[in-house]
């Protein structure tokens, strides 16, 4: 990843942070964002310290705000000229998985979940599109909940189903490879699951999709753990 520019939204914790660290350790210039100034700057400092580099930079940016995303993309382009990898990772989940019946979801929760998880991805990819390198890859995280109905998953499940539709649409319309990455159950604040895969353990999956996987085989597809493991044996 030496010489590559990677943009990761929601990069201050969980999968986003782990993936940012992995890319930086592999030589990429990494740009992250998050909603909180202090979280962003603290994460940037920690990642640069852990990778013994100055490869990571970040901005406070809310994916619900198109102006914030434009600033983020401008910052990334100023650093690298073009974007080689975009990970549209930022997402929210207002509740405990399995305890969020859709018929009991409040209008405000539904609205914010869709605004962040769906419109945020749309805005991020759309604003980045003019600056994607010819061989760029766009990674959009999702999960089986987008395809398999499970009780109590509320607006979060709906948002992930919509995000997979966005990924297919962008894959059809952009020259860059666009895919859904499904890492399975991961222990993050978003999932609320403690006994699951550590984010650091699935970061190599994102590295493989972003740099080694054949572009024609991932474009418009869902890349899950099984696909990754079978392809890297």
pLDDT in tens, 10-26: 999 999 999 999 999 99
pTM across the whole model: 0.94
Domain 5-231 has CATH 3.40.710.10: no
Indicate the domain borders of the chain: 5-231
* CA 116 remoteness from chain centre: 12
pLDDT, one tens digit per residue, over 45-82 is: 999 999 888 999 999 999 999 999 999 999 999 998 99
């Amino acid at each position: 990843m030496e010489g590559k520019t990677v943009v990761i939204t929601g990069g201050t914790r969980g999968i986003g942070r782990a993936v940012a660290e992995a890319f930086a350790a592999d030589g990429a210039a990494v740009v992250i964002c998050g909603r909180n100034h202090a979280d962003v700057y603290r994460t940037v400092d920690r990642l640069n310290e852990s990778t013994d580099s100055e490869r990571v930079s970040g901005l406070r940016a809310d994916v619900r705000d198109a102006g914030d995303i434009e600033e983020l993309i401008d910052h990334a382009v100023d650093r690298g000229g073009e974007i080689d990898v975009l990970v549209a990772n930022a997402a929210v989940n207002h509740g405990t998985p399995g305890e969020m019946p859709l018929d009991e979801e409040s209008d405000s929760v539904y609205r914010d979940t869709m605004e962040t998880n769906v419109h945020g991805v749309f805005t991020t990819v759309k604003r980045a599109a003019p600056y994607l390198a010819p061989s760029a890859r766009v990674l959009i995280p999702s999960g089986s909940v987008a395809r398999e109905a499970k009780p109590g998953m509320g607006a979060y499940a709906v948002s992930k189903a919509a995000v997979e539709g966005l990924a297919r649409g962008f894959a059809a319309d952009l020259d860059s490879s666009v895919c859904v990455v499904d890492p399975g159950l991961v222990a993050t604040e978003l999932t609320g699951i403690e006994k699951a895969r550590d984010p650091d353990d699935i970061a190599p999956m994102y590295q493989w999709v972003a740099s080694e996987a054949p572009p024609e085989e991932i474009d418009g597809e869902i890349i899950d753990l099984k696909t990754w493991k079978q392809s890297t044996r």
